[in-house]
Structure 1
């Protein structure tokens, strides 16, 4: 991202132009049956050197699209009107002949007439709600506040907090993460001794703590984190999950995945002479990680100035102040509030100032908290357990049944609850719920990372990027939406205009997206319309209509930030950050 680009404020006032076919406000919950999945096209997980692959669920989604699209001819022209390229609807006719025999015998669409029945008459939303409520076996009922409070009483009263460790490669993120787990009793001495021997055998004696987080042999050989490492630890007052994000620029999409789930960001900086400069200068990942974290919703930032025990530093106050002075204006420009940034000198390898305060005489110039004390002190924004359930799926696997893994972003999840997988509209039941440490719980509140065993669906029904929700209040699944975008890093193509293709990273989903139309350029300070334009450049703020190759679960940013903010990447760089500000009326009506 352009270090000189103005900060994108996702909380700025949105702009919805007059006369455009997007809903100015979300539809009532009862009148928002889930839209049908469209045919899948080419899907790219990222642009970091990975070729696009054919969507494995294209045939199934095409069959479902054909089934659900029959009774809804009216909204189709409206949805297609703003899309000159018509990328999303195009694949539907092509795969339709191939899977045509499949929907006939398939049991999935047949037993669900209630879901398709309201579509021929979108105006009869009340009939849809009545039909849905009448079928107690198919639809979960909403809980009253008293019922939710009773469920919450079963939960651990301590808050759960996701902490993402980010920063330039070799800043010491994995070593610091591993040492935190060791210092909090999550790793025993026998395991540490084992990792010490393994690291010594590879002539990497100082990497033994990183082995706690870097479990892949390739990661251990090269000393580079690839996937987002996850591990729980707890203190007396809070429960935490460490998200160890990769620092190499080739794995920024994985870092985005970690940051999108985080409540606290820890920007790990190497104080060693030359290493801070390499990470902070152009081409380093310190800048991009900090900017991405802010736009992905991380408001609380801890700058862990690591390797303060290095011989080139020796806990020197001058080096600490030098780093702080260089970072402060950049972090302010990136949108972080000065009051929400803490600078803490540490040694991730020795554990100095991580859990226990520094010994007298080491760095008497520092009187602030230890790193773990700072974790305890950070205020976590309020979470809403009374709203409709929203749980984006991060991963899935099979262990005595289909298990979905993710973070509960809104509402509550409980055993026996009847829920729905969107965008497939597959209904199922919650069988068991587990925390990251395999502890079984009966209720999960917002902010919890959980693994949910589901009954009534197969592994093919549960994919990364899908969302668990309640049948009476489904998440919106759309192929077109209106966005507010802040552009950056466009020097490789010059302009952003209709036809521009990129990869959109939103909650746990990675989807191919195309710009259908630039609606207007906005004043970056006031948000007012500067003028109708056909293209925008680096640093511009605009509103645009974007199309997706397949239905994707989204919410307006004002309704649920976690499902309404996103980044766009192209050719290994972040070219825009944005928020969802409008959903098509036809999609809202189902």
Structure 2
């Protein structure tokens, strides 16, 4: 059974937490003792006598204010699929939290209040989805019960959003008229909106195809660990363990070890402790090679005709996540999957407005939640692709040298 990673986005009070609570409640993913606790804590009760938003708003401040502040992850499953949901805050103050939640998502659900229509926050969330290359967008027009389940209201919002999507090159978009509070078109189709002929939201989430997005063309395998048991039974065993980031690897393939730029041949591939004919993304694997080469954690195996960029300087978009401001010349650690290198932010080219995509100059420094284009230089060569071409090798994080806190999310250009 595969896993669909999705996140919800929307303005304050659009009903993100209530929608997730409804998915959990109606799919019977809540235990009896949780229900009893919910009933005691509920203030804003629905017809079932509970406040579904409490299921995801775990912080005391969130429950008191009725808003989402931090990213909350919830897990549930149906007979057809497993789900990991990231409930991300919608306010511009928490842009870093939203980008964190979106970075691992296959699909984004953007909620729109049927009374408000498309607003500035809707545009910002769509821009973030575009920047992070999220392939599937679901527009959930919530609170349809407050506009008398009007088809005209739904169609007007749909038309308005399609204009935004075309400008941002968002392609796979689905629209659902819903009421998270009452459960209309969430798990079961609503009898109050017979004009909507499509599946319910959960039925769509169970069926949406995500495996097509896996890159099987560009071969990228990064070494995480060198397995060298040196026991009597496995005296000559040397395997290189890691995850196949993209592509397919077979015995006999001619490969290059990067950044050393040395050619060799694959002698054996294993996964799950067994030798197999081939391994492919996103499988964990152990790859054996014919030659004895000095290979370390963070090195890459790639096919000789599919070479990525190897350089110690590159341009990137960075979402700044720290209260301590980013200043040109600051030094950090750069974590690029298994590879950790020292890095310096040489230049800050411009700031990208996540509401309009407008490029504005940066005066002195970069503040929390701002997205900027920068030039980064690393102490040793890095093997990478652009984020647009390959998310797995085109993303990284910046880490503060003193506190070890993650301070920036990096999308390589």
Interval of TM-score (by shorter of Structure 1 and Structure 2): 0.5 to 0.7
- Quick check: 1:354 aligned with 2:186? yes
Distance 1:241 1:515, change over 3 A: same
For the residues of structure 2 that align with 1:167 and 1:257, how far apart are their CA atoms? 15
For the residues of structure 2 that align with 1:470 and 1:411, how far apart are their CA atoms? 18
**Residue pairs, 1:82-93, within 5 angstroms:** none
Shift of 1:344: 0.5
- Quick check: 1:388 aligned with 2:226? no
Partner in structure 2 of residue 306 of structure 1: 142
Partner in structure 2 of residue 104 of structure 1: none
Shift of 1:185: 2.3
Structure 2: gaps (5+ residues): 225-242, 248-271, 275-279, 285-295, 303-307, 319-326, 350-357, 362-372, 399-408
Residue from 339, 345, 359 that aligns with 2:177:
345
SS in 2 for 1:309: helix
- Alpha-carbon RMSD: 4.5
Partner in structure 1 of residue 45 of structure 2: 205
Partner in structure 2 of residue 176 of structure 1: 19
- Quick check: 1:556 aligned with 2:349? no
Shift of 1:320: 0.7
Q: Is the 8 A contact 1:481 1:580 kept in 2?
A: no
For the residues of structure 2 that align with 1:228 and 1:343, how far apart are their CA atoms? 24
Partner in structure 2 of residue 287 of structure 1: 123
Of Structure 1 and Structure 2, the greater strand share is in 2
Shift of 1:554: 7.2
Shift of 1:549: 9.1
SS in 2 for 1:161: strand
The C-alpha deviation readout for 1:112-137, integer Å capped at 9, x for no partner, is xxxxxxxxxxxxxxxxxxxxxxxxxx
For the residues of structure 2 that align with 1:548 and 1:326, how far apart are their CA atoms? 42
Shift of 1:357: 1.1
For the residues of structure 2 that align with 1:238 and 1:181, how far apart are their CA atoms? 14
The C-alpha deviation readout for 1:507-539, integer Å capped at 9, x for no partner, is 999x99745386xxxxxxxxxxxxxxxxx9559
Shift of 1:234: 1.8
TM-score by length of 2: 0.61
Partner in structure 1 of residue 250 of structure 2: none
Shift of 1:299: 1.4
Q: Is the 8 A contact 1:389 1:411 kept in 2?
A: no
Partner in structure 1 of residue 314 of structure 2: 482
Partner in structure 1 of residue 256 of structure 2: none
**Residue pairs, 1:287-436, within 5 angstroms:** 287-310=123-146, 313-337=147-171, 340-359=172-191, 362-380=192-210, 381-383=212-214, 387-389=220-222, 410=245
For the residues of structure 2 that align with 1:172 and 1:179, how far apart are their CA atoms? 10
The C-alpha deviation readout for 1:364-393, integer Å capped at 9, x for no partner, is 2110111011112322134369842589xx
Structure 1: gaps (5+ residues): 1-157, 392-407, 413-440, 451-468, 487-497, 519-535, 569-576, 582-590
For the residues of structure 1 that align with 2:111 and 2:222, how far apart are their CA atoms? 34
- Higher RCO (C-alpha under 8 Å, 6+ residues apart): 1
For the residues of structure 2 that align with 1:211 and 1:505, how far apart are their CA atoms? 37
SS in 1 for 2:85: strand
Q: Is the 8 A contact 1:409 1:446 kept in 2?
A: yes
For the residues of structure 1 that align with 2:33 and 2:91, how far apart are their CA atoms? 31
SS in 2 for 1:561: coil
Partner in structure 2 of residue 547 of structure 1: 376
Distance 1:342 1:516, change over 3 A: same
For the residues of structure 1 that align with 2:8 and 2:196, how far apart are their CA atoms? 22
Partner in structure 2 of residue 473 of structure 1: 300
Q: Is the 8 A contact 2:10 2:110 kept in 1?
A: yes
For the residues of structure 1 that align with 2:336 and 2:26, how far apart are their CA atoms? 31
For the residues of structure 1 that align with 2:9 and 2:273, how far apart are their CA atoms? 33
Shift of 1:196: 2.4
Tell me the matched-pair count.
304
Shift of 1:472: 5.2
The C-alpha deviation readout for 1:558-585, integer Å capped at 9, x for no partner, is 76323415899xxxxxxxx98525xxxx
Partner in structure 1 of residue 63 of structure 2: 220
The C-alpha deviation readout for 1:47-69, integer Å capped at 9, x for no partner, is xxxxxxxxxxxxxxxxxxxxxxx
The C-alpha deviation readout for 1:217-259, integer Å capped at 9, x for no partner, is 2211111212211112222332211111111221110100011
Partner in structure 2 of residue 235 of structure 1: 78
Shift of 1:546: 0.8
Distance 1:578 1:253, change over 3 A: closer
Shift of 1:213: 1.1
Distance 1:367 1:198, change over 3 A: same
SS in 1 for 2:169: coil
Distance 1:292 1:507, change over 3 A: farther
Distance 1:331 1:470, change over 3 A: same
